[in-house]
Amino acid sequence: MTTNLLDFDLEGLTAYCEQLGEKRFRATQLFRWIHQRGASDFDQMTDLAKSLREKLKSRAHITALPVVTEHVSADGTVKWLFDVGDGNAVESVFIPEDDRGTLCVSSQAGCAVGCRFCSTGHQGFSRNLTTGEILAQLWFAEHSLRKRFGTDERVISNVVMMGMGEPLQNYSALVPALKVMLDDHGYGMSRRRVTVSTSGVVPMMDRLSQDCPVALAVSLHAPNDPLRDNLVPLNKKYPIAELLDACVRYLDFAPRDFLTFEYCMLDGVNDQPEHARQLIELVRARGDGKSWCKFNLIPFNPFPASGLLRSPSARVTEFAALLSNAGIVTTVRKTRGDDIDAACGQLAGDVKDRTRAAERMAKQRTIALKQVS
């Protein structure tokens, strides 16, 4: 069985080349061919010694994930469904904007966290993706979009680990993938332009701050533990106070002087003025009076199994104003790609569930969500 070179960061590829009896600089050349030029044919790599190319042909390959479907939204958003084997498929989404191109990348086939408002969580969890499967989404998207747009310039400027899965529950595969995104010989992105989104895996947040401190977005979605326990079940393990303390610790290493809290606006559930006031109290209790976080309010993208509704736009505006007037930077996310089910919380792919998620979610839906003051 040959080795997929997408599985390696530069350090790993260097070790692999040394096993082949090659010098370290050969790994850098190979790495550039793969990630900067999108090459998958070793014969294209003309500055590599012919003897190395022959070795690689018999022992290695560079293979993208098979594309099951591609959908293009009216607003230019592109969603791909990639086959990752054994009946599983994951989704990636490219979001074009005037000043940047963002790729939303999946880290797991499914998700074990099971957030009430997320379509992926309702499908359950099958397995973690490998480093190569995470990177293959970026590799394919970047180089296929360059061909589509007829350019040699970089198309994807930002990566958000906000696709299917909880990235920090796949830590060992995530970190090498992040390092490739940041590497000047790879995609050369700044740490500010690579974001990991987490539902709050506190120990792994601390590890990420030491191993690869990129931008961090935390899925908060509730201002108190009883409500968050129901919306984000991981809260029972890492409650809000513990999570926010970890956020403050991360700030010492973060590429920016703030973290982002994601907050999905759910009609009658977490969108009342009292909830905004509770959020303000949480923020003011930390940060020594400095501005240390911003809120990104996300209009809920309904799907039938959730039993939840989107907050009316007037209520979202009112909620945002309460936070802003308290000195908290607050934005309302513009919904993109919802006509192709590519918007936030809509990514579902195909998952061969190993966790009885449908049964668990059905039980949750029988528990009425009430406001908790």
Q: Confirm whether 91 is a catalytic residue.
A: yes
Contact indicator for 52, 22 with CB cutoff of 8 Å = yes
Question: Any idea of the CA torsion for 113, 119, 124, 127, to the nearest 10 degrees?
Answer: -80
In the numeric block, which tokens belong to residue 177? Answer: 């993938």
User: CA-CA distances (angstroms) from residue 360 to 232, 255, 307, 353?
Assistant: 13, 38, 14, 12
Which is nearest to 193 in space by CA: 147, 168, 160? Answer: 160
Catalytic residue among 17, 115, 264, 344: 344
**Residue of 22, 91, 142, 166 marked active site:** 91
Active site residue 115: no
Render the burial of 166-188: b for 16+ CB within 10 Å, e for the rest.
Answer: bbbbbbebbbbbbbbbbbebbbe
The count of other CB atoms within 10 Å of the CB of residue 29 is 18
Q: How many residues are present in the chain?
A: 373
Active site residue ranges: 91, 344
